[in-house]
Structure formats: structure tokens, C-alpha cells
Amino acid sequence: MSSTVLDSIIAGVRADLAARVSARPLANVVAAAASAPPPRPVLPRLSGPTLGVISEVKRASPSKGDLAAIPEPAALAATYAAAGAAAVSVLTEERRFRGSLADLDAVREAVDIPVLRKDFMVDDYQFYEARAHGADLVLLIVAALSDAQLRHFHSLATDLGMTALVEVHDAAEIERAQAIDPALLGVNARNLKTLDVDPDAFGALVGTIPAGVVTVAESGIRHADDARRYAREGADAVLVGEALVTHGDPGAAVAEFAAIPGTQR
């Protein structure tokens, strides 16, 4: 079987993880997670009368390469929060996204709103690590996990008090995700195995998501009209990165997104 972009990213994630585990044993991270302040609730912030905006601190991506330098992630996150973001997403994957746990720490100190550790979560260590660094949410990418892993990691995140953003990109993955009864489901218009974007993916899939599940539209959001379309199609929230970090005034962009009326799904 040929290797996909996702396979390559995960191989790098595992290599970097091994170095961190060697430097800081799991027991130490578990203890740090236990002593961290409690996670913040996020679902009410993403299902209000206006579109919830998860604003991302994102320096680079596998599809576009370098996007923005972001020398002060804390300042950017504070701008997002002041403009009405419901949560801040922080890329911590190092090789393709130029992120780090230091970025997560900086953002956590700068804002009081929920923070998502956005990474390729494939090992228990990463979940304790996320909690130890103050994450309120973690990402579970269905395409990267077996059914057993998905179930186990969802339970672990829940046990640690965090909310799992369960990410899918096709009907088969939605069916797999429903087995764990997620409270928060993201439909990514970008196929992580090929990096192709299908802007019609959310609209085509949202009707198969059970009522009561908070839905997030991810990728393909270049400007407010894209976000409005997702809201009309049934999105409770959007996750936006590139369009913000490449914008001349990210605060104004967040405010515009956050003023969009919420879904009537």
C-alpha cells in the first residue's frame, strides 16, 4: 500500500514524540496533567446565536508551506480573543506546521478562552501532555486512527476533562465517529491523505450528523462568504487558520466571522 501525506506526517510525529518521551517520562507528564487548572468548557461557546470561531495560530501547512512567521503567538491569540473568537487552536506539530508546545504555553497564558491543541494524536502520552500544557480540547482525526484507538483516545480525553474535536472528511468516517457518540464533530473539507479540498464536503455530509452534535466546518474558508455558506448549511462553528494569519488585520477578520448568524439546523 502506498504511503499517504497523512502517513508521512504521523511518522514524523512519532519520531518527535519519542524524543520528548525520552526527555520527560510519562509519569512526570501524568503528574503535571493532574495538577493543571481544570479544563474550560467549550461546547456552549460554539453553539450560540452567532457562528463560533475557532481561530488558529498557524505558521505553515503541508499544502501551502510557510504562511506567517508569528513571532508572538500570545499576541495573536489575544487579538483573536478580543475580537470575539470562541476558542484558539494552536498547532503543535513541528515538521509540517512549524508549531510547538511552547506556542501552546504562550497562548494558554495569554487568553482565558478555551484552547485546542491541534496535532496528530496517536499516543496516550500526547493527551496527558496536552492537559499538562493547559489544553481544553484535543483533535481526534478519524482517518489517522483505528476504531479501537478512536474509542480509547476519546475516553482518555474525556477522563482528563478535555473536549475532543472528532474530525471526519467523508461519510464512512462519520459512521465510524458515531460509534463513540461525539459531542463535537468537525468536517474537514481537506482530505489529509491527498491534501485536496472539496468545498462541497460539509454541505454534503452535515445531514448525516445526528441532531445535538455541535458541528465545525474546517478548511476551505478564505473569507466571510465561505463562513456564511457553512453557517447556512448547518455549521455551528468554523475553524479558520490561513485566512486569519495571512490577513492584514486578523482581529477584524475574526470579528466579521463571529458576527455571522448561527446555524438553524
Q: Catalogue the active-site residues.
A: 56, 58, 118, 167, 188, 218-219
79 contacts: CB under 8 Å, gap ≥ 6: 250, 251, 254
Are the C-beta atoms of residues 75 and 261 closer than 8 Å to each other? no
User: All 3 cell numbers of residue 128?
Assistant: 496527558
Q: Which residues of 36-62 are buried (b: 16+ CB within 10 A; e: fewer)?
A: beebbebbebbbeeebbbbbbbbbbbb
Backbone angles phi, psi at 65, to 5 degrees: 75, -150
The residue type at 111? V
108 contacts: CB under 8 Å, gap ≥ 6: 115, 133, 134, 135
